[in-house]
Structure 1
Amino acid sequence: MVRAWVLPVLLVLCGSAVVTAQIVKGDVGTAAVLLPVLLALAGVNSPLIFPKSIGAHEAQRRSAVDGRPVVFWRPGCPYCMRLRLRLGRSARRAYWVNIWRDPAGASAVRAANDGNETVPTVVVAGRPHTNPDPGWVREQLSRSG
């Protein structure tokens, strides 16, 4: 879990230093623009933006019962962030597995991607789809009831 927070914490700390330096130089306007941008970047890269992750085995078990997609992701992945943001509220209907926290999830992703940990990998009806279009994933979520 600590690894997931490294990038957001670094963005906040470095951003604070840059903003403070701009204020000391008297460039308050630049500081006012940089602060929200850096805080937004830290928020988007934090685990807070993603639904709660569960283990791969539990996600696959639940998916077999209700047909919902399983999304394998990792913090800091721009494609995972894109998928999450484009899914909006419907993202909470999928089962999310953080491959950095779940070795079985990382193994499942490697098995689906020729040994690579390419994310997001979305599994629907037992078939993996690597970096699928968010519209397609949204459609799969609506089909799963």
Structure 2
Amino acid sequence: MMRVWFLPLLLAVAGSLVGAGLIAGGSPGEGVVLLVLFLLIASLNSPLIFPGSIGAEEARRRSEADGRPIVYWRPGCQFCIRLRIRLGRRAGRAHWVNIWRDPDGAAAVRAVNDGNETVPTVFVAGRPHTNPDSAWVRERLAPPA
């Protein structure tokens, strides 16, 4: 659990220290801007921006029932963050599996990526797609016409 929060907490603490140092040194504007920037980067690297994660087994079961994609991700992954942001509100239509919390999810990703935990790995209709284009994923998340 601590591993998923390490980077965001480190960024928040570093930003606080740098910001406080600048404020104390007579540059309050720069200090506040840097603090806000560090906190923004910390929030982007936190698991809070992702829809609630479920286990890999539950995600497979749900995906078989509703046909929605499964997105395997991990906190701090810049490619996962980029995919999440580009999906926007549609991101909630996918089933998200945090591979750092779910060993079965990590094993599923390793099985299709030559033993590597390369994320995001998106499963659509049981077929894996490693680091797919966000527009392609968005099309698979569109509600049926």
Task: Report TM bin, short chain.
Answer: over 0.9
Give a deviation string over 1:52-91, Cα, whole Å, max 9, x none.
0000011011101110000000000000000000000100
**Structure 1 residues 144, 75: CA separation in 2 closer, same or farther (over 3 Å shift)?**
farther
Partner of 1:121: 121
Tell me the equivalent position of 2:50: 50
Residue number in structure 1 paired with 2:8:
8
Residue in 2 aligned with 1:33? Answer: 33
Q: Identity rate of aligned residues, in percent?
A: 65
Q: What is the alpha-carbon root mean square deviation over aligned residues?
A: 1.1
* 1:139 match: 139
SS in 1 for 2:42: helix
3-state SS of 2:117 partner: coil
Please give the alpha-carbon distance, in whole angstroms, between the structure 2 residues aligned to 1:30 and 1:141: 41
- Tell me the number of residue pairs that the alignment of Structure 1 and Structure 2 aligns: 145
Q: Which runs of at least 4 in structure 1 moved beyond 4 Å after TM superposition?
A: none
Rounded Cα–Cα distance in structure 1 between residues aligned with 2:108 and 2:81: 20
Following TM superposition, by how much is the alpha carbon of 1:121 offset from its aligned partner in structure 2, in angstroms?
0.1
Q: Secondary structure of the residue that 1:128 maps to in structure 2? A: strand
1:108 equivalent in structure 2: 108
Instruction: Name the SS for the 1:119 alignment partner.
Output: coil
**Cα drift, residue 32 of structure 1:** 2.3
SS in 2 for 1:5: helix
The answer for unaligned runs of 5 or more in structure 1 is none
1:60 and 1:70 in contact (8 A); partners too: yes
- CA drift of 1:143 comes to 5.3
| Conservation of the 8 A alpha-carbon contact between 2:71 and 2:97 | yes
In the TM superposition, residue 144 of structure 1 has moved relative to its aligned partner by 5.8
> Which amino acid is the alignment partner of residue 92 of structure 2?
R
